[in-house]
Amino acid sequence: MNNIDLKRIPKHIAIIMDGNGRWAEEHGQERIYGHQNGVEAVRNAIEGAGEIGVKFLTLYAFSTENWNRPKEEVDALMGLLVKAIKNELNNLMHNKVRLQAIGNLDSLPAECQSELQDAIERTKNNTGLTVVLALSYSGRWEIINAVKEIIKNNVEEKDITEHHFSTFLNTHHIPDPDILIRTGREYRISNFLLWQIAYTELFFPAILWPDFRKEHLFEIIVEYQTRQRRFGKTGAQVKI
């Protein structure tokens, strides 16, 4: 943490929390054991981001494709989500964390929707880090949904710009990610924030999600601060 320039902290970090199932298998346990232990990694990521002044942290918790997993695993994940929200609410309040969510939330079980909305309502006035849970979410779903909304609102072709299009996305209220982290020893985006990560810096630490700690987050931010973000310009232009 001492190597981090606190004047150049990324505003928004997104994380694909991959590797829970394989972590459990490596420990001779059922897959849900990995998801249970992944909660500690979530806690570390939230605490670490909050400590250094990150404004937004988006966590890919459950994709639309994850509904295709075995029913017993999906049911266990939904139960774990409800339990985690209940257990972590006091910590969120204590650390002034605001909780939000993106995705097709209506597809979640009723109890999940209830606990999630209660936590969102109770933390809405918190002024610290905003944690965004991506639940029943996928980038393609979000883009298609935005197109449907544009059609429904009779938006004229001449008015459709990148900025206007982005106002129809789930993430219209938050900046695009500066950093995308994927654990799990995989090197793909898996349908996550496809529109928003056009110029995001990508990091693939060679660990499984339950092993992720705030120190890993700090190491990534240190490396991020050595990179030059050009957004299509030349290096000379950026230095000017």
pLDDT of residue 81: 95
pLDDT of residue 59: 98
- Enumerate residues 6+ apart whose C-beta is below 8 A from 229: 178, 199, 201, 238
Greater pLDDT, 1 or 90: 90
3 pLDDT band, cuts 50/70/90, is very high
Q: Give the chain's radius of gyration (CA, Å).
A: 18
236 pLDDT band, cuts 50/70/90, is confident
Q: What is the amino acid identity at position 23?
A: W
- CA dist 20 and 18 (Å) reads 6
Catalytic residues: 18, 66
The CA distances from residue 22 to 28, 70, 90, 184, 193, in Å, are: 10, 16, 30, 8, 24
Domains of the chain by start residue, with CATH: 7-239 (3.40.1180.10)
pTM of the model: 0.95
pLDDT one-digit tens code per residue, 84-107: 999 999 999 999 999 999 999 999
Whether residue 2 contacts residue 44, with contact meaning beta carbons closer than 8 Å, is answered with: no
Mean pLDDT of 16-38: 96
Above 80 in pLDDT, residue 233? no
pLDDT one-digit tens code per residue, 160-177: 999 999 999 999 999 999
pLDDT of residue 240: 47
pLDDT of residue 1: 79
Among 184, 231, 227, which residue's Cα sits nearest to residue 208? 184
Q: Which helix (H) or strand (E) holds 99?
A: strand 98-102
229 pLDDT band, cuts 50/70/90, is confident
Q: Which helix (H) or strand (E) holds 18?
A: none
End-to-end CA distance of the chain: 29
Above 80 in pLDDT, residue 135? yes
Least confident of 6-10, 58-62, 157-161, 230-234: 230-234
Above 70 in pLDDT, residue 66? yes
pLDDT one-digit tens code per residue, 201-221: 999 999 999 999 999 999 999
Tell me the CB-side half-sphere exposure of residue 39, using CA atoms within 13 A: 17
- CA dist 203 and 205 (Å) reads 6
What is the percent of the chain where pLDDT is above 90?
Answer: 94
